[in-house]
Amino acid sequence: MSVLNLEELSTPVLEALDRARTVVLLGLSPLETHGPHLPVGVDVMAARHLAQTVAQRLASDRPEWTILVGPTLPLGAFVFDAVGSIPIRQRVVRDVLLDYGGALARAGFRYILVLNGHGGPGHLVALEEAAAIVSRRHRILMASVTGHLAWEFLRGRYLAKVETVLGRPLTDDERRAFAEDAHGGWWETSLMLLLRPDLVDARFRALPSARYTFIQRLRPQYATRREGPGYVGHPALADPAFAKAALEVLTSEVVDVAQALLDGRLRPAQCRSPFFAIPLFRTNFWPVTGAVALILATWWLARSTYPRSRGAETH
């Protein structure tokens, strides 16, 4: 199997790769608080593990291809702000990925897949915007493959598959807990118990559930405001067996999407997150809205003062 790390290769080695049979995997996720029990690098570690696992699966399925794994970039927008969190402006996240994708495209690489371990709506949209722009400018395939899947996972669409891999049905209490889980709770604490148990504070078992209504989740920084715990859900339920089953399902789904994209059976627009269609989450929404508001305000002032000035001059 040919899985190579981009940062470990020399220029001649990279130049020798067959562009028609090379796919580049890029990961971007932020450093962000995940409560008192998990490290701030949860999303980065998740994206890195996913990239490595997906690379191995693709290499196994496509032995004639080279899978080129780029370094996971610790960048992300729409994060909960606390000590250790590094919020990056949405436009910057988009532009960094634009530069990465553009450089790879100019070097002749035709297939670039973006992986991510963070569910912030604006972050997902930034990745999808960058991929769309690079694809259009350079006439290549660049796609963010995890936005739609992450949304479907958190909505519980894959729980039946998880139960099959887990070997047992989830209880009603577990299903309710999963529906309330979003950040640093059952799923991500379980994931870290699987990937890096040495980084999980053992006191997570005593942490209370953190429940938020839909209306509460619409407020900025809802999980950290007013001394909030920085997590959402039920970390005390964490179980590495659940994480192993869920990760197996998620990896398989990502690989299926990647294969369909590479084969031309799926277009990037078909695997975007639902947030991409909401203008509020687009990178240019607030700058454009502000510019339009300024233009309208200037026009209104000019319109309202011009007749009075002209009347005063006539009088």
Which parts of the chain have pLDDT scores under 70?
A: 1, 285-301, 303, 306-315
**Residue 283: its pLDDT value, please?**
93
Rounded CA gap, 298 and 102, in Å?
Answer: 38
Report the alpha-carbon distance of residue 41 to residue 102 in Å, rounded.
27
User: Quick one: DSSP state of residue 183?
Assistant: B
Enumerate the domain spans of the chain.
3-284
Q: What is the DSSP annotation of 126-168?
A: HHHHHHHHHHHHHTSEEEE-SHHHHHHHHTTTTHHHHHHHHTS
Residue 161 · residue 250 · CB < 8 Å: no
Please identify which residue in the block is written with the tokens 């002209």: 310
The rounded Cα 194 to chain-centroid distance in angstroms is: 20
Closest CA to 127 of 98, 166, 84, 104: 98
Cα 178 from Cα 9, distance rounded (Å): 42
* 76: number of Cβ within 10 Å: 30
Using only the alpha carbons of the chain, give its radius of gyration.
23
Q: Could you tell me which CATH class the domain 3-284 is placed in?
A: alpha beta
- Contact call for residues 31 and 86 (beta carbons, < 8 A): yes
Q: How many residues can be counted in the chain? A: 315
Residue 14 to residue 120: CA distance in whole angstroms: 33
Instruction: Quote the distance between the C-alpha of residue 154 and its chain's center.
Output: 13
3-state secondary structure of 112: strand
Q: What is the 3-state secondary structure (H, E, C) of 15-41?
A: HCCCHHHEEEEEEECCCCCCCCCCCCC
User: In the prediction, which pLDDT does 287 show?
Assistant: 64
From residue 251, alpha-carbon distances to 74, 90, 107 in Å are: 21, 26, 28
Residue type, 208: P
Q: Are 111 and 98 in contact (CB under 8 A)?
A: no
- Which amino acid does the sequence have at 224? T
The whole-number pLDDT of residue 221 equals 95
Long-range contacts of 147-150 (CB under 8 A, 24+ apart): 147/116, 147/271, 147/272, 147/273, 147/275, 147/276, 148/271, 148/272, 148/273, 148/274, 149/250, 149/253, 149/254, 149/257, 149/271, 150/116, 150/119, 150/124, 150/273
- CA–CA distance from 86 to each of 73, 74, 118, 285, 293 (Å)? 12, 9, 13, 22, 30
Instruction: Determine the pLDDT at residue 284.
Output: 81
8-state DSSP, 54: H
pLDDT tens sequence across 97-120 = 999 999 999 999 999 999 999 999
